Amino acid sequence: TRASAGKPEEARLTLEARHSAGKLLIAVADDGAGVDLDALKRAIVARGLAQADAVAVMSEPELLDFLLLPGFTMRERVTDVSGRGVGLDAVQNFAKAVHGTVRIESTAGRGTRFVLQLPLTLSVVRSLIVDVAGEAYAFPLAHVRRALRVPRSAIEMLEGQQHIAYEGRPVGLVTARQLLGADGRGVPATDADDVSVVLVGDGAGHEAALYGVAVDAFAGERTLAVQPLDARLGKVRNVAAASLLEDGTVALIVDVEDIVASVGRLVREGQLAGVARGTQATARERKRILVVEDSLTVRELERKLLEKRGYAVTVAVDGMDGWNTLRTGQFDLVITDVDMPRMDGIELVTMIRSDPQQRAVPVMIVSYKDREDDRRRGLDAGADYYLTKGSFHDEALLDAVNDLIGEAT
C-alpha cells in the first residue's frame, strides 16, 4: 500500500521535543495514511457518542478529539496490542494530570501527528540565574524579553509607580525582593549606579503586559533540570519549581505568569515597593518635594517654581497617585491641592497623618478656593500650612516651603 502511494516501504516515526511559548512540546508523528475521517464518523455514530446529523457538521479537530475518549477504538477486532481503546486515553489522562494538553493532527495520505503540550516542570529549561537577597533564582528564558542594566537616574515615577523606558514605551518597574518575599524588600543590594532588570511579559506583541523586575545581580545562563516542589507545600506564590546548580546550590525557578498576576494585584492595592532612584549622594543633598495637583497648568507652575529654587520635585496627578508615590519614595514635603478626583487633599492629609512611616512629613495645602471650611478641615486633618494659589505672584509659596523645610540644599 505504501509503495503504491509512492512512499518508502519502511515507515518513518518522528519524535520531537522542544520548548515553545514557555511550554514543553513533545510531538510524535508518522508518515502513514492518516486518520480515515469517514470511518471515524461511522465509529462515533455506531457507539452512540453523537447523532449522525451532529457528526456531519463537526470540524476535523472536533472529530479527532473522539479518539482520546476512554474505550473508543476504530478497530473491529481486539488484539494483544490494540482494539481496547486505552492507549490514547492513557495519554490524555497523563496530560490532564500535569495540566497539559493533547492535540491530534492528521492529513489524509500523509500521516498523523500527536502533540503534547506540557508544563516546563517536566523538562530541562534554559534559564537566566539571578541573585535576590543572597539567594539564587532562575527566570526561564522563554519568558524573558531582555536582561539589561538601567541607570538609577533613568527611573521615573508615573501615576505612582516607577517606570523605565524600553523601545519607546514605559515599562513598570518592580522589585524581585518584594515579589519573592526576600528580606529588606525594595532596598538595593548595592550602591551601584545601575540596576539589574529582567524584562518579563505574559504575551507577545506591543500591547502585551511587560514589567521590569529589579534583581540584585545577574549570575549567567544555565540549563537546569527541573525538580517539582514537594506537593505538601501546595502552590508557592511566584515560584514554579526548583533545581540544583553545579555547586549544589538550590535555585528556585520563578513562575513568571504568577509574577505578572502578583504585580497587577500590588498595583491595584497600591502596595508596590520602589527601587532607590538617582545618584544617592545627590538625592540626599537636595530636598525632595512631592506636588499633588490634578491641574496640569498649576502642577507645572509649581514644579518649575520649586525646581528653579533648587528642590528635587516629583509630581502626582491626584490624591491616590500622590499617596502611592509617597509610599514608594522619601520626601521632605508634600504640597497638595484640595479638590481632586479619587482622593482629595483633605483625605490625603488624613492618610499621611494616620500612617506611622509618613506622619512626620510636613504637608502644605495649596488651593484656588479660599474657603474657610476647607482651611479649617485641612488644618484639623493635620496640614502644616494652607495657602491660596492666588499668592504665587509674591513668592509666598517659596517662603512657606522655606519656613517648613528650609533651603533646597
Domain harbouring 259, CATH code: 2.40.50.180
Q: Is 304 a member of any domain?
A: yes
Please identify, among 118, 144, 174, the residue that sits at the C-terminal boundary of a domain: 118
pLDDT for residue 188: 46
132 contact partners, CB below 8 Å, separation of at least 6: 176, 177, 180, 182, 215, 216
Contact between 181 and 226 (Cβ < 8 Å): no
- 296-308 vs 396-405: helix axis angle to the nearest 10? 60
Give 376-409 pLDDT, tens digit per residue.
888 888 888 888 765 555 577 888 888 889 888 7
Q: What is the CATH number of the domain that holds 70?
A: 3.30.565.10
Domain identity same for 252 and 366: no
Q: Work out how many domains the chain is built from and give that number.
A: 3
Domain identity same for 291 and 259: no
pLDDT for residue 11: 94
Cell triple for 192: 551601584
Q: What is the CATH number of the domain that holds 333?
A: 3.40.50.2300
Give 271-308 pLDDT, tens digit per residue.
667 776 554 434 446 889 999 988 888 888 888 888 88
Please identify, among 97, 118, 139, the residue that sits at the C-terminal boundary of a domain: 118
pLDDT for residue 32: 94
Domain identity same for 135 and 168: yes
Cell triple for 222: 544555565
Domain identity same for 262 and 290: no
pLDDT for residue 102: 92
Structural domain of residue 82, as residue ranges? 13-118
* Segments of the chain with pLDDT less than 50: 184-189, 279-284
Q: Is 280 a member of any domain?
A: no
Q: Is 7 a member of any domain?
A: no
Domain identity same for 199 and 162: yes
Domain identity same for 107 and 202: no
The candidate with the shortest Cα–Cα distance to 200, out of 240, 131, 259, 243, is 259
156 contact partners, CB below 8 Å, separation of at least 6: 162, 163, 164, 165, 170
Domain identity same for 224 and 212: yes
Q: Is 2 a member of any domain?
A: no
Domain identity same for 146 and 251: yes
DSSP state letter for 228 = P
Q: Is 317 a member of any domain?
A: yes
Domain identity same for 100 and 131: no
pLDDT for residue 277: 58
Domain identity same for 167 and 257: yes
Q: Is 44 a member of any domain?
A: yes
Q: Is 388 a member of any domain?
A: yes
Domain identity same for 299 and 383: yes
Q: Is 146 a member of any domain?
A: yes
Domain identity same for 133 and 256: yes
Please identify, among 54, 86, 118, the residue that sits at the C-terminal boundary of a domain: 118
